[in-house]
Amino acid sequence: MRNQRVRMRRVNEALKEVLSGAVARGVKDPRIGFVTITSVDATTDVSQAKVFVSVLGSAAEKEATLVALRSAHGFLQGVVNDELHLRRTPALEFVYDTSIDRGMRIGALIKDQERELGIDASLPADEPDADDDRSDADEQGDDADEQGDDADDQGDDEGPDDDLPPR
């Protein structure tokens, strides 16, 4: 069973890579806007594959892009067949991926709550300022390093800079 999951993950990633390249370079439909293939979910027999896409733009642009991708499915299936040489070429179904929209909505809700509560989210609350709060162990380590550096400056060793001409 584990081998099947690993195989399907590899097939899905290969499909995603091939389709992303084909949409970016091969499909010349002007209705296709800024589209990203976010994931591919093929059936175990690879007869069908859901292609999840994200589109930057208005609702009308998103719908137009989906219509254009659906009309180009034959071309895209041919590209998949030519490049992957699978036993079956999956029938492609293009679906709008709402996860990015949901993530943006959650981020906006969090920012609204932070504003209402007066929280400055630009500064992490639990990280101390690195310049002000040095521990005693760090300071003692620095003193030991400085003493060790004084011993090195006695002229006994030639460093890599000793070979360079003066400026």
Per the structure, how many domains does the chain have?
1
Predicted structure pTM score = 0.64
Range(s) of the domain holding residue 11: 2-97
Report whether pLDDT(83) > 80: yes
Report whether pLDDT(41) > 60: yes
Confidence (pLDDT) at 165: 59
**125 lies in some domain:** no
Report whether pLDDT(73) > 70: yes
**Which residues have C-beta within 8 Å of that of residue 44, sequence separation ≥ 6?**
4, 8
- Buried b / exposed e across 67-81, counting CB within 10 Å, b at 16+? ebbeebeeebbebbe
**58 lies in some domain:** yes
**27 lies in some domain:** yes
**154 lies in some domain:** no
The CATH number for 54's domain is: 3.30.300.20
- Residue with the larger pLDDT of the pair 133 and 77: 77
Spatial strand order in the sheet of 91-96: 34-42, 48-56, 91-96
